[in-house]
Structure 1
Amino acid sequence: MAEHKIRLSSSEIGGLWTVFLQENMAVCLLTYFLHHNQDEQIKKILQRAYEISEGHVQQITRIFTDEGIPIPDGFSEKDLDLSAPRLFYDMYGLSFVYSMSRMSMISTSFITVTMARKDVMEFFVLMVQQTSILYQQATTLMLEKGIYDRPPMIPYPEQVEYVEKKSYVSGFGKKRPVNTAEITEIFFNTERNYFSILLCMGLLQVVKDKEIHDYIQEGKEISEKQIKTFNDILMREELLGNVSVRMEVTDSTVSPFSDRLVVTLFNSLNTIDVTLIGHALSLSMRTDLAVYYEKYILEILLYSAKGFKIMVDRGWMQKPPHAPDRKKLQKI
């Protein structure tokens, strides 16, 4: 008996479509970092990251081709200028793999739990495994090179404790110390924004389009505000602040990336940032932290709308696969 071919569901089409664009963009950026990298240890991780992302692009292309689904318009060598002087030093390439693999682990896990067709589920499960190993390797090398800033240390708890007063959630007036879940989210939010600031600093030197330049500048200012907010909280808790340990931007003023690649990257980072801040909000029991997270989610959503407008105005925004307009089809 012939095996029945199961069609892709809407969630499977959407998940594959999203990952294709992300991984295709990663291939371009990793091509750039590999071209300029001079550290052999970092080059091995960059090469592995490149091979993983390229493999994902090829596998999704095969699935879409088999199903007769159009392949999204991706990025290519036209979006890179490898003859431009290097914009970032080697350590930032390592930070790039660390940050992107960490964010990919989170976003891909969300997608994986919406999959059901055997081949697609296997693809996403493998992707989570590969990204997790890549994150582990990048973190290990960052520790070896002394550029990994670990979250604050606290004394080990000596006993199990229960919340005794409703004031546990109070974030104004007299408030309790932050708990470990809150420290974790504050720390990694700050770390993520340091990564973004260095990216913005480099791109502000090379992007010549005023609208896009202003858009990047605003993104840098949002990241700076978040760092100040959450570092101040850690300092008040006498946990010190999260400090960026290196300056990894050169003095180049020649862009190695197309404007389309730059704005699409920011659009992707904004999407995952809203997800991660929302996660932090769900884990934060102190009301002052919740207020800050709600404020920054709204600010990033408004900022994202500006990036969306740039992409639409310039014909760069591709429509995700969507349901048919049944009312339109039913008209006589």
Structure 2
Amino acid sequence: MAKLAFLGLGVMGFPMAGHLAAAGHEVTVYNRSSAKADAWVGKHGGKSAPTPRQAAEGAGIVLACVGNDDDLRSVCLGDDGAFAGMARGAIFVDHTTVSEAVTKELAGIAAEAGLGYVDAPVSGGQAGAENGQLSIMCGGDKAQFETVRPVIETYAKICRLMGPTGAGQLTKMANQIAIAGLVQGLAESLHFAQRAGLGIEEVVEVISQGAAGSWQMVNRHKTMAAGKFDFGFAVDWMRKDLGICLATANQNGASLPVTALVDQFYKDVQNMGGGRWDTSSLIARLDRNG
């Protein structure tokens, strides 16, 4: 069993850290809001610390799942950052979805301090985190990956090294690009079926068994048809991720016309007051416009 630190106890980090404690690891947690850290300790045991640095002291592996590039920098750097508390040879694992640029920046700083760094963004949403069924795509040194893999497999359905530093984040971008177009297609399909007077359950039962089937269709069609969007990944976070995808595409020459369009559709949802709705809320925009 390892001595670990986990930074960030949002809808993903809270259950992920819980799986580590349940597996018998010694876990110290940090969260910007201390009330969440106290709640986590009350539920799972372990300890909390008032700063990332104090949480990281003595930990062989420090894991983080925060909001964006700036949040990640804030928990890593500075006098109170995790890097300042980590001993040489310890490894930092970042589960946040961030840019390739900040990943390489922080990995370089870590290396200069004698620390390891693995970028390991996750897919599977809150349910995947709670059930320990996340897809985890990693970038970094192979030996460092092999060291941390048994720990992060605690909450993974699949965990794979995709390449050098940044490859995990690039793979997560491909994931978000695929989801954006898929959810828009599903929203249009359900919207069309409703307007055509078809029974949604009957339609989905049939088409989900063929080439149109997807996780989104099986798990979100009922709530989409009912106009309920309190499940899963928020629109505000999806727009953050798609912004990273589009900026990276501008650098590597990839053409993402559908992704750019769906990003603007999500902007419409934000303007409807749906920034905290989950990503399946694209159908609300169609219903409003229809």
TM-score tier (shorter): 0.3 to 0.5
Flag the structure with higher strand content.
Answer: 2
TM-score norm. by structure 2 comes to 0.34
The structure whose Rg is larger is: 1
Flag the structure with higher helix content.
Answer: 1
Bigger relative contact order, structure 1 or 2 (CA pairs below 8 A, ≥6 apart):
1
